[in-house]
Structure 1
Amino acid sequence: MRLLDIMNEVEFNSNKPWDEIQNTEIKDIAYNSSKCEDGYIFVAIKGETVDGHKYAQNAYERGARVFILQNDLELDEDAIKLFVNDSRIALSKMSANYFGNPSKELKVIGVTGTKGKTTITNYISSVLNKAGLNTGVIGTNGTFYNGKKEKTLNTTPESYELHRIFRNMIDGGVKCVSMEVSSGGIMMERVKDVDFDTAIFSNLSPDHIGPKEHPTFEHYLGCKAKLFTLAKHGIINIDDKYADQIIERATCDIETFGIDNKADLNAQNIEYSRAIDSLGVSFDVKTIDETFNAYICAPGTFSIYNALAVMSVCKYLKIEKNIMIEALKSAKVKGRVEVLPVLDYATIIIDYAHNGVSLESILQTLKQYDHNRLICLFGSVGGRTELRRKELGDVASRECDLCILTSDNPDFEDPMNVIKDIADSFKGSDCEYIVEPDRKVAIEKAIELAQEGDMIVFAGKGHEESQLIKGEWIPFSETEIAKEAARNIIEKKMEKQLS
């Protein structure tokens, strides 16, 4: 592809006269120098901890001869330097151009908010696919379409990866994409050149605020709100306390959903149900034109909000109501309030809740169902987000009857350091706690301790299939560990009965 076409609408200056370089052919784009080859253009991105300019020479040695730079640096004479104000913004436009602006050929639905993004995007995919609209998913759990799965490093991939994925989806016959749009993805200009058809706002609470993330909550909110300047249509949870601020900043038309406040879609007459393999909720949905009943096999008020967001999308896309209702009945997301039917006398749940807000939400939701004890097994990541440890401890010690404090993704930090920080919250609390730094042993202990009617939550890791220990991701499946532990308990009980 010609350099001229890749740089379309990108403002830059160069060390070479334009008439000498405009017909330069480019094989591909790379922002990681190790991926460069002959004919590549290297984009030097300035990150929080790594400056891509330091790796330009390595990119040159690997064959790159065109460089997108914010600062001048010394390279051999045949290097073409293109200087831009912001290399991330440049990468976004260049990537869109290189892959033929693929988002314009898709219906892209972006979901933002502190909680619920993964569930909503996956529910949308389930419903739209059953309605015959080939839909892909991009988010925390990876990229999915046509039965294919690709891991993603970030909830919202880098702009180059995003447009590459869009193009691959189109080539595979995908017509619609349901994607998580994180505040970090917006802040880092990853979605700047995505043509969003619809944007969804689920909720907002303080999170991702710190030296390497958002400097203030206002900045965090502003990034979330920016999505509604990139979309044609907005769908807002009107019950959220920050909904009005999102709406005020939006440039697209808006419709709303809610439970407490009047909205375009309202949920009423809520009823909870419980089975060995699911916790569910039924409710009536009221629109301007009609009222109908719906059921989802996920618990609590937050699940209703997620379902209402999906219904709003279906209404906007004119999906047949009966198909939507039936699809939502069976829609599930791995690691999101996932019930493991391993014990017939206790309910075992895996959930990704890894901060105070999300943990409080799931625990308070479970308390709405009949239960004996509420038990939570959790830890917190090592080496960062130390404030979360107190949040998690405060919530769990207040809401639970028993907690098992263990490791999450400790990385290079001693898990006991993290556990000690969490344990401080249990001083003066009526909630008992057990310390077991080995998460596998902790899960086995939780299954062993389960009594009739208990509800036990493994919180923090959710869909993850590995654990980060000393810089290495070690295979780790909570589901398989729980299944094996339950089998052992059941076998021991049977042996005892027979003896």
Structure 2
Amino acid sequence: MSQWIDALTACRVLLGDPTKEELQSISYDSRKAKAGDLFLCLKGTKLDSHDKIPELIASGVRIFVVEKELEELHLADAERDKLCIVKVENGREALAELSAFYFHYPSREMLMIGITGTKGKTTTASMVRSILEEGGYRTGLIGTTGIDYAGIHEESRNTTPESYTLQETFRKMREKGCTAVVMEASSQGFKMHRTDEILFDYGIFTNIEEDHIGENEHKDFAEYKYYKSCIFKQSKIGLVNRDANFAEEFLENAPCPCYTFALENMADFQAKEIENLRQDDFIGTCFTFLHGEVKERIFNHLPGAYNVYNALAAVSLACLLKIPMEKIKHALSKIKVNGRMEVVLQRDGHTVIVDYAHNAMGMKNLLQTLRSYNPGRLIVVFGCGGNRSKDRRYGMGEVAGEMADFSILTADNSRYEKTEDIIADIESTLSKKSSAYIAIPDRREAIAYALAHAKRGDLIAVIGKGHEEYNEVNGQLTHFVDREVILEEADKLAEKK
């Protein structure tokens, strides 16, 4: 791999001759770098790996891709003759370019499906994967719940992993026989160039609302919207929810041809005659799918209008791929998504579900859906993440006050803030709408309280964590799974009876 320099679209050689340097491996984490690596220096919000160059040289690293000029690197004269240093304008762009080159552009060998949107990415991705598998594609999945392919599961801290991890994962998927990849493409993924060097065969847009705006995310909604729209620049064909905010703007500006789906507006693919269904071990929906001469009644194992949107996106894509309708219907009829409207417990006449809803939009959609099943009382257990925009707390407090019969405020990844302070922010809006709430900072105790006070016909929603298996406090992750805690506390209650 001596011609790695050609993979960089814009660069300038500061030292050495890159054409004489073999690319053995790539590193961008100074803690993991080793002799023989090409090390790519990145300037982060907290750390600048350019500062690590002296110790990396001491450990045997000789090839560097940097964002700074030579005089800014403060190299000893004796070291310069041994080094190869190339300057780029954007290190993250370069990382994506080099990673794709290093792994021989694996995404070009598979059907690539990208999904973006404020809500619905994870569920839609799971539905698409299920349908593709039913249709004969061996499919890898990358997203919020981790990385899955060929019976292998890997955790991922980011919805869209770093570009090197993505390209490495694509290569591993291909080597295991995958013929398709379904991945969630987050706005942060586009902003941080993680998805560079990927051309999606189909890019799906689910919806957009104000979210992920703050110091550690996007500076404002305009930036957030721009990076959501980037999926169309990286897709051969777009698939757009025409009922979503800004859908017409996205359609008008998309550089690729687009199909549309909708429940309300005219679209290429439509869902009508939506019906709620409830049985002993699940709640779901049924709808009529319309496309040209096609009219099919489809059962969806997940409840709510927003899950009809998710299912409609998946079915629309499957039709474009010419997957037989019977296979589509069979895949949707059996799907369950971990931590997404997941029925965890039905006991003593009440039902407990777990969901990932962690902002006002998600919470409103969830509670509207659950209310449509006419519960005795609708009880919600929730908190809000620390070191994120306070608007999220105010919004969730307002929604809970308006839509829940009783709210239990608790911890949810407080990070470096005090749980009590986060709860106080939620209370500031909730208390203006309702007095039916209690604050229990310990999440296990909050869940136990909800179960102990549940009555026949009640529906309890434990939200915010969904599939997550940890609670984050002061930089430390401790094992915590809502599903497990619900079942454990329910068993304790049963033993007391």
TM range (shorter): over 0.9
Q: Equivalent residue for 1:497?
A: none
CA distance in 1, matches of 2:475, 2:445: 21
- Kindly provide the amino acid, as one letter, of the partner of residue 237 in structure 1: N
The correspondence of residues 322-337 of structure 1 with structure 2, limited to 5 A, is 322-337=326-341
Secondary structure at the aligned position of 1:35 is classed as coil
Cα 1:55/1:16, change in 2 over 3 Å = closer
How far the C-alpha of 1:51 sits from its partner, in A, is: 2.0
Cα 1:146/1:85, change in 2 over 3 Å = same
Indicate the larger mover: 173-182 or 387-396: 387-396
- Kindly provide the amino acid, as one letter, of the partner of residue 64 in structure 1: V
Q: CA contact under 8 A between 1:376 and 1:457: conserved in structure 2?
A: yes
How far the C-alpha of 1:434 sits from its partner, in A, is: 1.1
Q: Equivalent residue for 1:63?
A: 60
How far the C-alpha of 1:395 sits from its partner, in A, is: 0.6
Indicate which of 12, 23, 26 corresponds to 1:26: 23
Cα 1:451/1:6, change in 2 over 3 Å = farther
- Kindly provide the amino acid, as one letter, of the partner of residue 137 in structure 2: L
Q: CA contact under 8 A between 1:398 and 1:431: conserved in structure 2?
A: no
Q: Equivalent residue for 1:282?
A: 286
TM-score, normalised to structure 2's length?
0.96
How far the C-alpha of 1:92 sits from its partner, in A, is: 0.9
Q: Equivalent residue for 1:13?
A: 12
- Kindly provide the amino acid, as one letter, of the partner of residue 55 in structure 1: K
- Kindly provide the amino acid, as one letter, of the partner of residue 30 in structure 1: S
Please tell me whether residue 241 in structure 1 is matched to residue 240 in structure 2. Answer: no
Q: CA contact under 8 A between 2:16 and 2:85: conserved in structure 1?
A: no
Q: CA contact under 8 A between 1:92 and 1:160: conserved in structure 2?
A: yes
How far the C-alpha of 1:198 sits from its partner, in A, is: 0.6
Q: CA contact under 8 A between 2:343 and 2:351: conserved in structure 1?
A: yes
CA distance in 1, matches of 2:225, 2:309: 20
Identity %: 38
How far the C-alpha of 1:447 sits from its partner, in A, is: 0.9
- Kindly provide the amino acid, as one letter, of the partner of residue 223 in structure 1: Y
Deviations 1:449-479 (A, max 9, x none): 1111111110100000111122110011111
Q: CA contact under 8 A between 1:10 and 1:94: conserved in structure 2?
A: no
CA distance in 1, matches of 2:35, 2:426: 52
The correspondence of residues 220-369 of structure 1 with structure 2, limited to 5 A, is 220-369=224-373
CA distance in 2, matches of 1:208, 1:30: 29
CA distance in 2, matches of 1:335, 1:6: 44
CA distance in 2, matches of 1:468, 1:132: 39
Q: CA contact under 8 A between 1:277 and 1:340: conserved in structure 2?
A: no
Deviations 1:199-229 (A, max 9, x none): 0000000111123322221211111111101
Over aligned residues, Cα RMSD in angstroms? 1.3
CA distance in 2, matches of 1:13, 1:168: 32
Q: CA contact under 8 A between 1:34 and 1:59: conserved in structure 2?
A: no
Deviations 1:385-437 (A, max 9, x none): 22211111011111011000000011232211111111112324335011111
TM-score, normalised to structure 1's length?
0.96
How far the C-alpha of 1:56 sits from its partner, in A, is: 2.3
- Kindly provide the amino acid, as one letter, of the partner of residue 437 in structure 2: Y
Q: Equivalent residue for 1:387?
A: 391
Indicate which of 23, 27, 37 corresponds to 1:40: 37
Q: Equivalent residue for 2:97?
A: 93
How far the C-alpha of 1:287 sits from its partner, in A, is: 0.8
Indicate which of 109, 115, 122 corresponds to 2:119: 115
Q: CA contact under 8 A between 1:11 and 1:84: conserved in structure 2?
A: yes
Q: CA contact under 8 A between 1:276 and 1:347: conserved in structure 2?
A: no
How far the C-alpha of 1:129 sits from its partner, in A, is: 1.1
Indicate which of 474, 478, 483 corresponds to 1:479: 483
CA distance in 1, matches of 2:24, 2:8: 19
CA distance in 2, matches of 1:336, 1:104: 31
Q: CA contact under 8 A between 1:340 and 1:349: conserved in structure 2?
A: yes
CA distance in 2, matches of 1:229, 1:381: 32
How far the C-alpha of 1:380 sits from its partner, in A, is: 0.8
- Kindly provide the amino acid, as one letter, of the partner of residue 34 in structure 2: E
CA distance in 2, matches of 1:96, 1:334: 31
Structure 2: give runs of 5+ residues left out of the alignment. none
Secondary structure at the aligned position of 2:164 is classed as helix
- Kindly provide the amino acid, as one letter, of the partner of residue 46 in structure 2: T
- Kindly provide the amino acid, as one letter, of the partner of residue 381 in structure 2: L
Secondary structure at the aligned position of 1:167 is classed as helix
Indicate the larger mover: 275-284 or 393-402: 275-284
The correspondence of residues 147-158 of structure 1 with structure 2, limited to 5 A, is 147-158=151-162
CA distance in 1, matches of 2:172, 2:428: 49
